[in-house]
Amino acid sequence: MSALRWGCGAAGLRWALWPAGRPGLLAEEGALRGIWGRRRSSASPCEQDHRKDWGHAELLEVLETRARQLQADYVSEVAEKRVDMARLPEAGSDQPPRKAQAGAEAALGLSGRWAQKLDKEKRVMQKRKQQLEVKLQQRAEQRAQKQQLRVEPRLLSGQLAARLQQWRLHAPGSPWEEQLAWLLQEAPRRLHSKEQGPMDSMRGEGQQQRLLAFLQCCVLVDQVALAHHVLVMQHGRARQQRRLTLPMYNAVLLGWARKDCPVSYPRQHLSLKTLKSLFQEQLRMEMATTVTVASVEKAPSLTTELMQARKTLQGLRVRWEAELCRVLRETKAREAHAAHEGRPSLFPYLCLLSEGEFSGLLLQTLQALPPQGESLLSLAQQLGLRIFNRHVVQRKQLSEEVRALEQRYFKYLRLLASHSQLAVSRLPRQHWEALGVPEAPYEQPWPLPVVVQLGKQLAEVLVQTVKMPGHLAERQGSCKLIPVLYHVYSFRSFRQIGILKPHPAFVQLLATAAECTMTFEAAEVPMLCPPLPWTSPHSGAFLLSPTKLMRSMEGTTQHQRLLEACPPTELHGALDTLTQLGNCAWRVNGRVLDLVLKLFTAKGCPRLGVPAPPSEAPRPPQGRLPQGASPEHKAALRRELARCLKVAREMHSLRTDALYRLSLAQHLRHRVFWLPHNMDFRGRTYPCPPHFNHLGSDLARALLEFAEGRPLGPHGLDWLKVHLVNLTGLKKRESLQARLAFADEVMKDILDSADWPLTGGKWWMEADEPWQALACCMEIAQAVRAHDPAAHVSHFPVHQDGSCNGLQHYAALGRDSVGAASVNLVPSDLPQDVYSGVAMQVEMFRRQDAKQGVQVAQVLEGFISRKVVKQTVMTVVYGVTRYGGRLQIEKRLRELSDFPQEFVWEASHYLVRQVFNSLQEMFSGTRAIQRWLAESARLIAHTGSAVEWVTPLGIPVIQPYHQDAKVLINGGIQSLTFSNSGDTSQKGLTFVSVHDCFWTHAADVPIMNQVCREQFVRLHSQPILHDLSRFLVERFCSGPKSKKARVTRLLDMLLSVPKTGAFNLEQVKRSTYFFS
């Protein structure tokens, strides 16, 4: 019966295991292959995989069910046999009880073997099920990965891929980590330095262009992930990888930078309503083209003489204005007649403004003439440019541009105003362009010959027309009219130039009248609203007044041509930088201004940078020379007279400059204002308003502070203290902790300086930068006396200066380890002072020469100091020659009262030679790069071309040093010859900069320091020298001239790029004193 049951069970199992419409299932598994054999299926591989998976699952379910059924049958059968065996003896059975028990045991053993076999098969099936589940999961993941976009490329090197996987799983600190970091750092350099030879066919180049366009378009439509995926897939295939270029990688990286780090442009601290009101004020000011500002000169008493002088001056101006209008009409008629005769003339230019506007401009020019006069060429150029600017402003007023500008600017302010909401956050340039309003056509500036000719014509009208009664010059004089202006010749730097000089009587009349106002051009005054964002080389900064993106000598056009020919996207970095600098809001430090005005209206204080009035100038010798005076006596008197005149001119210039600055500061005392920026041909940024900005002297910087305040936070007060010690110059070689401790030691002096600056201990006056030190003392005093210093709102800008930044860049370019350590690119406990290092090296050379009996070395004992060599070391990276360095050292030696003056010339020659030798010893890599650059520039000049290059920021640069073409303008009071330089070839962080000195709030100094270091490393991680070499080779060594001998020498020089050292740039990120 048991056999029958097992047979039925086996048959049932056989029927249960039938594949049921999925042929080949068991053949795939290999379990019952001999029973059914192999079957073929016409299904696709994918369908077969699915069927196979389903078959495995069903088989396992059937086996589990049958195993449970067999176990149940076995248990019931055993129980039944046991009952039968218990009843057999009583029934008189022929089989003995032992045999019956043995038969039962045999049946039980047979059923146990089947159970073991089924258990084994079950375990095998479960194991296969687990393997199948893993396999199914892997296949599902693979299918999901195929549908997802790849973010990592497949490494072509199997060894590197295996090592990388092992490193990821087991050893985070593996030595492969450094090698991999180095490979990742060097990858862009190698990619960029590969020879970009011609493709095998035009097809390859076309594929490159299509791929780059595809990536850029993906970024444009916000499909950065898709662009990344395509780039990774191309990178993972060796053949396609060779076609990839650096712009392709840059396009994707830039897209991620904009997507992952959405631009959150810092807003102004003013409301939208306030900014709109400020825009209206600025617009009115620019439409008027001039700004009248009250003078800060001490107002004299209203005496009868003063009132009479003012009345006389007013009457003369009324008469001059009418006479100028009459003469201008005559001049215009004369120029019109010349045009009718077919000759080009100035007639159309004289029609741009009315006679009244021309006369007002000429009288304004007369008012601003210095007593010593001004060059006619310079005066003519200024007049011509002012006329052009007025014409541009008027043209915009007459058209609809002003109204369109107002509407567009109000929309633009939503990006800058506080508490305003925008759907999309953009940079100012992007937001301005996204507004969609087309910009007005750009008006080309007039050629320099036209500007000079027009200005010269108007200057001649001024000289011939403006006259005054003779009795103003001499009390006994007649009423005959005498000229107010004289045209004289003078020698300046061994060159004879024509000068327009006012009559001394007119100068005296102006001084007696002591008028209390001054007039400035609108573009010479800081803006009352945020500047327009720079969007192109000719659009940005002031609302109406035309402004150049790149300032250059008038008449040069090559800079503008390069900028206009440059692809717009390559200039975006420079444009956005200038916009960011211009969007910093400023205000006047009133407490400092009051103290400066107190000194200025007295007799000044030259020691503190406050110029003295002309009354304090040295007086020249009076009287005539006695008869029979010796030639030596006459020469001495002439030298003394020349010295007095020179000092008087310098004092007048300094006094006027300070008067302009302080008058504008007083004018803007309670206002918020902005300083639009542009750049020079090298890419250095400068504020457009010339008289009042943060690029001036110590006094000028102390007058300014940020309009927006920030709480000091937990470490802001410490940074204020460190900044104060830096301004004193007392602890330059000490650590930041030592400087902080020193500030705490002298806190009593700091508070005394803040409370009693002019009557107390005057500790601040001994600082290297006294006025900035005083302003910092006042800020620290307010902070320490606040209830919570961390919550004190500070407007004071804290500076972080580069440690001889020019040498820092050279050391990074050459990976010069020794030079890098000297200029604080390497982390150290104390700051390294390169100037003191050079002075010590020079002193070592001097001692060696002194032992050998060199006289000048013996004379210099005890006089070689940091101050003597600093200026030369600082400027050597900017190309100072030995001649210029000798003059710098000579000036320093003459300042030493105990140095024997008869040795100044010889000592300066000796020292400049030793300074250059010391720099060669300390900065070998730097000097090698300098020699390579200088020799390359010399050879380029010999080929007849001007040196040009492109900066890492994308700014095209061309050297303005070349031979000038002379332009002659005949006629009038003087024939003018001038040089017309032609083209010789075709994070919410408040931040401003003064070249290599960066400013921000005290609370944000750590953030600025981090950004500064990261950007420095990022800049020099690029192959700058190789990029420059490749650019110069392509620019100057290709084409029909490439076979000439000079070009061959140039090519050899350009290809011999100096080798770099082993300095690791990543150390800069950990250097405390890199910028400090």
Q: H or E segment at 534?
A: strand 532-536
Tell whether the torsion through CA atoms of 901, 903, 906 and 909 is positive or negative. Answer: negative
Alpha-carbon distance of 659 to 28, in angstroms, equals 99
What DSSP string describes 580-592? Answer: HHHT-EEEE-HHH
Say which amino acid occupies 172. Answer: P
Which stretches of 970-1007 are assigned E, i.e. beta strand?
A: 976-980, 992-994, 997-1001
Nearest to 922 by CA among 826, 1013, 827, 840: 840
Q: Report yes or no: 275 and 417 within 8 Å, Cβ to Cβ.
A: yes
Chain length of the chain: 1076
Nearest to 608 by CA among 738, 757, 456, 500: 757
Q: Is 680 exposed, middle or buried (0-12, 13-18, 19+ CB in 10 A)?
A: middle
- The Cβ-side half-sphere exposure at 274, using a 13 Å CA radius, reads 14
Each residue of 634-657: b (16+ CB within 10 Å) or e? eeeeeeeeeeeeeebeebbebbbb
Residue 52 is a catalytic residue = no
Residue 1043 is a catalytic residue = no
What DSSP string describes 392-423? Answer: HHHHHHHSSHHHHHHHHHHHHHHHHSTT---S
Alpha-carbon distance of 143 to 391, in angstroms, equals 69
Alpha-carbon distance of 712 to 349, in angstroms, equals 56
Q: Report yes or no: 382 and 362 within 8 Å, Cβ to Cβ.
A: no
Alpha-carbon distance of 633 to 640, in angstroms, equals 11
Of the residues 53, 576, 680, 996, which is catalytic?
996
**Cα dihedral 167, 169, 172, 176 in deg (nearest 10):** 0
Backbone angles phi, psi at 628, to 5 degrees: 80, 15
Alpha-carbon distance of 403 to 406, in angstroms, equals 5
Backbone angles phi, psi at 281, to 5 degrees: -65, -45
Alpha-carbon distance of 796 to 799, in angstroms, equals 10
> What share of residues in the chain are helix, strand, coil (percent, to 5)?
60, 10, 30
8-state DSSP, 764: G
Say which amino acid occupies 240. Answer: Q
What DSSP string describes 673-728? Answer: EE--EEE-TTS-EEES-SSSSTTS-HHHHHTEEESS-EE-TTTHHHHHHHHHHHHH
**Cα dihedral 259, 260, 266, 272 in deg (nearest 10):** 50
C-alpha separations of 660 from 101, 965, 1073 in Å: 128, 36, 37
Q: Report yes or no: 387 and 349 within 8 Å, Cβ to Cβ.
A: yes
Of the residues 53, 576, 801, 1027, which is catalytic?
801
Residue 870 is a catalytic residue = yes
Q: Report yes or no: 943 and 1047 within 8 Å, Cβ to Cβ.
A: yes
Of the residues 52, 332, 870, 1004, which is catalytic?
870
The two beta strands, 797-801 and 997-1001, are antiparallel
Nearest to 509 by CA among 471, 479, 543, 545: 471
Q: H or E segment at 518?
A: strand 517-521
Nearest to 531 by CA among 704, 389, 688: 688
Enumerate the active-site residues: 801, 870, 996
